[in-house]
Amino acid sequence: MITVHHLNNSRSQRVLWLLEEIGTPYEIKFYQRNPATMLAPPELRAVHPLGKSPVITDGGRTIAESGAIIEYLVDNYAPHLKPTEGTSERLAYTYWLHYAEGSAMPPLLLKLIFSRIYRAPVPWLVRPIGRAIANGMNARFIDPAIKLHLDYMENTLATSEWFTGAQFTAADIQMSFPLEAAAMRGGLNESRPKLMRFLERIHARPAYMASLAKGGLYELLA
């Protein structure tokens, strides 16, 4: 039996969605973030040394890292959710599976971290310095990087309905997290209609809705 070690409000929502698309039985073990630090509880380190979510266990195997989990689940339970070997769509599938966490997420994570400087409990004398650093980082590095990525993704969806082509694949599931994070905090809006329609299409999928019902509140923190 597959067990999803599910941290509330996190990337493991993607794994629940994939499992709902597949329709294979699985169970969820719930973990709650520390409300002050937003970090995962130490119990997750008993499952995997990094203590991050998602992690799944299946039989004797423990698999961490969203992209690796998605590859494992698709290879073993849902080959129909990846394009045929040897095609350009298959190459695109591998690319977007890696791109989501390797390239799209880092600037969005930086955006989140620097936004927290505004709320950090620091002495008022130091506060303007922290804010000036955050403003400079946002203006010079983070916002331009996010714009570059959003333009790139918008252009990709100008020529195909899904990231790998005409077929919905697990790479679209992997790509959902950076796009939802961008919609939440990275400036994704109606100025990029292809990406907004993508989000509407995935949110309307019955499996996506079923995964939300099972995983609980999902507001995309870190």
Q: Which residues bind ligand GSH (CB under 6 A)?
A: 7, 10-11, 39-40, 52-54, 65-66, 101, 222
Which C-beta is closer to ligand GSH: that of 14 or that of 82?
14
- What is the total residue count of the chain? 222
Integer Cα distance of 204 and 139 in angstroms? 35
To ligand GSH, the closest distance from the beta carbon of 210 in angstroms equals 20
Residue 199's contacts (CB-CB under 8 Å, 6 or more residues apart) are 176, 179, 180, 183
Smallest gap from Cβ 37 to ligand GSH, in A, equals 8
Distance CA 189, CA 195 (A): 8
Nearer to ligand GSH, 11 or 192 (CB): 11
In this complex, which beta carbon is closest to ligand GSH, that of residue 52 or of residue 82? Answer: 52
Tell me the residue nearest to ligand GSH as measured from the CB.
Answer: 66
Cα 206–chain centre separation: 19
Nearer to ligand GSH, 47 or 157 (CB): 47
CB of 121 to ligand GSH, least distance (A): 20
Shortest distance, position 165 Cβ to ligand GSH, whole Å: 24
**Burial track 190-220 (b if 16+ CB lie within 10 A, e otherwise):** eebeebbebeeebeebebbebbbeebeebeb
